Structure 1
Amino acid sequence: METRSINPWTWQEERSYSQAVEVKNAGSTLYCAGQAAVFPDGSSSKEDMKTQLIHAIANLEQVITTAGYDCKGIVRLNIYTTSSAELWPHFPILQEWIARHGIRQASTLFEVKSLFETLQVELEATVVK
């Protein structure tokens, strides 16, 4: 598999994403449902945004690795949140995770009216290998 980031500008680099990602010769593709701070028993977290973000990242990573993929293969990461203002101070947590795995993904951040039950942030990924 071969990927190429397309960035006509440089400003997105400080936000840890690419404007577009081209994928060639992919062997397979994994489409992950949105992962949030949901516990193994199916209950939703009632914790703060930071704690929910950390939990959502862990759940996303678990889905990806359980499927036999690597986080480095993430080419699209959509972020849904009930409050961009509350999420933004904790964004470095996501950026550090992206850097640790060498991820170069296209991303979109969505502020939505609500997520399921008490959830505040959800991560949706497309992964290739």
Structure 2
Amino acid sequence: MEKQVFNPWKWQDQRSYVQAVEVKNVTGTLYCAGQAAVNADGTSSTADMRTQLLQAIDNLETVIKTAGYDCKNIVRLNIYTTSSAELLPIFFEIFKPWVEKHGMQQAVTLMEVKSLFETLKVELEATVVK
């Protein structure tokens, strides 16, 4: 696999994402369904935004590893939240170390939505390549 990042500016570097990722010679592509703070028994979390974001990240990592892929090869990450005002104060303190831990270089879109399933506050949807 060949991966090339395109950043016409520098400001996104401090936010731990890139503007575009080109991938060539891919041997596999994994399209992950949105991962949220859903417990192993299928129940939705009622925890605060911080706890839900951490669990959503853990659940996304579990899906990616189970499929035989690596988080470092996430090329696209869509983030859905029911409250940007609640998410953003804690987002980068959690997100940046996670991105750095895996050496990720991914395009990111953050969207505030009216609601998510049941009591969920944040959901992560990823595309991963090999």
Q: Scaled by the length of structure 2, what TM-score is found?
A: 0.98
Q: How does 1:50-89 map to 2 (within 5 A)?
A: 50-89=50-89
Corresponding residue of 2:124: 123
5+ unaligned residues in a row in structure 1: which ranges? none
2:90 maps to 90
Higher deviation after alignment, 111-120 or 89-98: 89-98
Q: Deviations over 1:2-27 (max 9, x none)?
A: 11110000111111111100001111
Q: Deviations over 1:92-118 (max 9, x none)?
A: 201110110000000100000100000
Q: Distance in 2 between matches of 1:120 and 1:13?
A: 26
Q: What is the TM-score when the length of structure 1 is the normalising length?
A: 0.98
* Structure-2 residue corresponding to 1:33: 33
- 1:38-71 deviations in Å (ceiling 9; x for gaps): 0011100000000000000000000000000000
Q: What is the count of residue pairs matched by the alignment?
A: 129
Structure 2: gaps spanning 5 or more residues: none
Asked if 1:7 corresponds to 2:7, the answer is yes
**Alpha-carbon distance in 2 for matches of 1:79, 1:23:** 21
Moved over 2 A (4+): none
2:45 alignment partner in structure 1: 45
3-state SS of 1:98 partner: helix
CA-CA distance at 1:89 after TM superposition = 1.4
RMSD across aligned C-alpha pairs, in angstroms? Answer: 0.5
Q: Match for 2:79: what amino acid?
A: I
